Amino acid sequence: MKNFKPILLLLGILAALPAQAAGDEVEKLLPLSLEDLLAVKVSISTNTLQSLSKAPSVVSVITAEDIKTTGTTNVVEILQSVPGVYIRNNLFGNRPLVTMRGATSPHTLLMVNGAPIKDLAWSSGIFWKGLPANMVERIEIIRGPGSALFGSDASAGVINIITKTAGKIVQSEAGVRAGSFDSQEAWVQHGAQWNGFDIALTADLSHTDGHRPFYGADAQTARGDVSYAPGHASTGWDNQDIRFSIGLDNWRLLADYTRHSNLETGLTGAGVLDPLTSASDSQASLALLYNNATFAKDWGLNAEMRYRDLEYSSGDGFQERPPGYRSTVSNPATTYPDGQLNQQRSAERRMNFEVSGLYSGFKDHAVRLGVGYVWQDLYDVRHRVNYGPISDTVTLPAGGPLVDISHSAYAFAPEKSRNNKYLFVQDIWSFADNWELTAGVRYDDYSDFGSTVNPRLALVWQTTDRLTTKLMYGEAFRAPSYLELYSRTAATLPNPDLAPETSKTWDLSLSWLASRELRLGLNLFHFAISDIIALLHNTPTTVKYQNAGEHLIRGAEMEAQWQPTETLRITGNYTQRQQDYSILTSYGIPDQEAYLRADWAFLPKWHWNLQANWTGKREQQPAPPYPTRDPRSPLGSQTLADMTLRYVHDQHWEFAASIRNLFDEDAREYVSTKSLAEYLPLPGRNYFAEIRYTF
Amino acid sequence: MLCASLLGCAVVVAAETAPEPAVRAALLFNFLKFTEWPAAATDDAHLHVCVAASDPELLAAMEELNARQVHGKAVLIMSFRQQAECDVIYVDSRQRWNNITEQPRQSHALTISGYTGFVADGGMIEIILQQGGTRFDINLREAKRAGLRFYPQLLKLARRIVE
């Protein structure tokens, strides 16, 4: 006989709430056969993922469904929907720099399948242009420090883009898309089982001419010299991306190849129009991953081995100054008939190993212990210039040919390797009902700058069935880059004695399931960065990378998700930050941001999405601390809205159309180059349409 | 043929996307249909489904299964307690599973979870939710030990079977 009287679930908790929605959903699924049920697409509600609500961090997840419904064609676009994330378009190459919590992009660790995208030569992933959205299964975002687990760069946050790999592709798909700016894209994804192996292949090809912003004047105009302005900046690029994976039991092998070509950089970093440069980069990577949750009694084991080769070339560019450029550095002034050319190529490789074990043999504890080794080698640096100093005593005369300065102290980077050994341990201790304490620490030893230790603590309290409270503290670091350590130019000096930047962050996070229809979240943070590496004057004419000082950013991130009916969902968030205004401030990242999104399945086969990103005003460099005030009119707030309509015709065909920048807002990105009065104009209203075939 | 496929289409499209808790509940119900318990093990009138989870939405979805008939018995959803006699245990995390297995085994309970590594941890059915659809792994060894039998329809659809 049963000796226990069943306790009906949710008694009293949900009694007051309409149970209709969940009931209808289950009711609808029950008549399906198991086979049909397995084929139903699951909308994984990020907030119900157990691992998320209890994660000892502030975590957001973007699903493939989010990516599709918002008309995202490149993952970078949808990152902006996460509170605290701001994508800053870079003047040079129109590269999307991913920033979090008001700090510059090097303070965010950006990974693809757990491997950092950064490189030695430039440290931002060279011409990283995001990833084709169709290849992505999920994006996980940790707001706040992550160095205690992930090492360098994880100060403001960690973003991990997870691609569709073996075992994850249930249906094969092919699609094409075309849109404004002469953009075309084609993709295919296929998953299969073969002799017990799971196999997956995804491929994506795309071309765009880019939005070609117009500049009435550039840095050349400002100095009264020859100029391509007024004129358009070229921003086109081609992308080829192919990813193969194979899985068997606990093993997975990922092989990826990505190439960007005909990549037009548009403007130089100094704000000079450069129609010549057509650059390229490519990377090939291999990863062997092992994951066994029951390796031995009480032990789970993870291991990984990765290799990446990355190459880039500036092609015939970079054209730093246009033909006919008149230099007034020397007296009398000299003219460069071919302009100033700065041709760069480099190749580098990275290899890493990591092993970690999860021990669950202690009652109420889960302990993870890991060790790793990363080796990075910038093995080929080619540099040719037709101007400037090429040694401490020789400066090239104007009008001469290109001179090879590879392997000299004036090359843009040294051929050099760096390695990093690390150890980490983390314990999750469930010390009472509804209480969990996570304590972790990681030790990193770098071959160049030395060692650093970064701890973290997180207390998670399931306050009530509907409220989760988290209090977290974490320290993080950013290893100095090759540029900062070793790269010498005419005006900037590197500093091999740099220490890493460090940060200390406090977070208080509340997540509240107000009702079944409404979820609310609030997160407060206090983020203090020390030893910031900045270019400061060491003589009146030269600047040198130095550990300069401290910077404090405080902020509040608010989120809400409201689902009033089964077919309508509204989500939004608002971020407000406060930071010191000093020489270390990253101007151009707004103090206020908001995001609003509505999803409406207004008919069974139709889906409508509207999203809007609001960017607050961008502060201008004040004087002091800068010698002169920015003469340009300040950049006010702006709203970029997108609308996407999707129609699922049957189980094979699906159609979508999207309008980006729906209200044709005259949006600008802040750039510090003061001679660009227009800043960086962002694309006006534009369109695309796509067709998908599933088989 | 055309008609059948159109109908098929209609159903698939209507159910195109479903929320995760509802899918878990519906899957659990299907697993009950394809599992046979030893005759002496269950009581005559009820199939006791114990849920060890904290997500209110999942609990609400599971509750929708209450009183539905499987093998001529009514499903009874209850929250998990160590002393409870459960015919089915649904558990949401490794931590809860470790707590459950610390106690003397629920001798004949069918165990189901969605956390990664559940089958390896001695669970019987591990649900793998993905954007495109769902899969599941089965630990036949554990099921046999508990005296449970899975129908071939279920085994046929499993992604992986541990024997």
Reported as a single tens digit per residue, the pLDDT across A506-558 is 999 998 878 767 889 999 999 999 999 988 888 887 889 999 889 999 999 99
Cβ contacts of A454-461, under 8 Å, gap ≥ 24 = A454/A145, A454/A147, A454/A148, A455/A148, A456/A145, A456/A147, A456/A148, A456/A149, A458/A56, A458/A57, A459/A435, A460/A54, A460/A56, A460/A435, A460/A436, A461/A434, A461/A435, A461/A436
pLDDT digits (tens, 9 = 90+) for B51-77: 988 777 788 889 889 888 888 888 888
pLDDT of residue A23: 60
Return the structure tokens found at A21.
Answer: 């929605």
B 13-72 near A (Cβ less than 8 A): 13-23, 25-27, 29-30, 33-34, 43, 48, 51, 53-66, 68
Question: Mean pLDDT across chain A, nearest whole number?
Answer: 88
Asked if B9 and A29 come within 8 Å (Cβ–Cβ), the reply is no
B38 Cα to chain A: minimum distance (Å): 16
pLDDT of residue A429: 87
Asked if B129 and A42 come within 8 Å (Cβ–Cβ), the reply is yes
Bigger pLDDT: A642 vs A300: A642
Asked if A50 and B81 come within 8 Å (Cβ–Cβ), the reply is no
pLDDT of residue B15: 35
**How many other C-beta atoms can be found within 10 angstroms of the C-beta atom of residue A536?**
14
pLDDT of residue B6: 26
pLDDT of residue B12: 29
Question: Best interface-test mutation with B: which of A32, A34, A43, A468 has the largest number of B CBs within 10 A?
Answer: A34
* Averaged pLDDT for residues B41-51: 81
Does residue A20 carry a pLDDT above 70?
Answer: no
Report the range of poorest mean pLDDT among A126-130, A448-452, A591-595: A126-130
Does residue A54 carry a pLDDT above 60?
Answer: no
Confidence band of B13 (pLDDT split at 50, 70, 90):
very low
Q: In percent, how much of chain B has pLDDT > 70?
A: 83
Q: Which residues of A touch B117 (CB under 8 A)?
A: 293-294, 300
**A26 touches B at CB < 8 Å:** yes
pLDDT of residue A625: 65
Does residue A578 carry a pLDDT above 80?
Answer: yes
Asked if B131 and A26 come within 8 Å (Cβ–Cβ), the reply is no
pLDDT of residue B3: 27
Per residue in A330-364, is it b (16+ CB within 10 Å) or e — as a string? eeeeeebebbbbbbbbbbbbbbbebebbbebeeee
Does residue A594 carry a pLDDT above 90?
Answer: yes
Asked if A516 and B92 come within 8 Å (Cβ–Cβ), the reply is no
Report the range of poorest mean pLDDT among A10-24, A379-393, A662-676: A10-24
Alpha-carbon distance B6 to A619, whole Å?
Answer: 58
pLDDT of residue B98: 83
Rg (chain A; Cα; Å): 26
A513 Cα to chain B: minimum distance (Å): 9
For residue A413, give the 3-state DSSP assignment: coil
Confidence band of A276 (pLDDT split at 50, 70, 90):
very high
pLDDT of residue A299: 87
Asked if B77 and A8 come within 8 Å (Cβ–Cβ), the reply is yes
Asked if B131 and A64 come within 8 Å (Cβ–Cβ), the reply is yes
Alpha-carbon distance B145 to B128, whole Å?
Answer: 23
Does residue A49 carry a pLDDT above 50?
Answer: no
Does residue A322 carry a pLDDT above 80?
Answer: yes
ipTM attached to this prediction: 0.85
pLDDT digits (tens, 9 = 90+) for A448-502: 999 999 999 999 888 886 788 999 999 999 999 988 998 877 678 889 999 999 9
B115 Cα to chain A: minimum distance (Å): 9
Alpha-carbon distance A169 to A152, whole Å?
Answer: 32
Confidence band of A43 (pLDDT split at 50, 70, 90):
low
Confidence band of A17 (pLDDT split at 50, 70, 90):
very low
- Residue that is written with structure tokens 């004057």 in the block: A537
pLDDT digits (tens, 9 = 90+) for A238-273: 999 999 999 988 899 999 999 999 999 999 988 999
Q: In percent, how much of chain A has pLDDT > 70?
A: 94
pLDDT digits (tens, 9 = 90+) for A605-616: 899 999 999 999
- Residue that is written with structure tokens 């081609």 in the block: A238
Does residue A108 carry a pLDDT above 80?
Answer: yes
pLDDT digits (tens, 9 = 90+) for B96-108: 888 888 776 657 8
**How many other C-beta atoms can be found within 10 angstroms of the C-beta atom of residue A553?**
24
pLDDT of residue B105: 61
- Cα A160 to Cα A39, A203, A353, A540, A668, distances in angstroms: 27, 20, 18, 42, 28
Q: Answer yes or no: are the C-beta atoms of B47 and B87 closer than 8 Å.
A: yes
Alpha-carbon distance A605 to A593, whole Å?
Answer: 33
pTM (2 d.p.): 0.80
Q: How far is CA A326 from the centre of its chain?
A: 39
Return the structure tokens found at A551.
Answer: 């910077």
**B161 touches A at CB < 8 Å:** no
What is the count of residue pairs from A and B with beta carbons less than 8 Å apart? 201
pLDDT digits (tens, 9 = 90+) for A59-97: 888 888 889 999 999 999 999 999 999 999 998 889 999
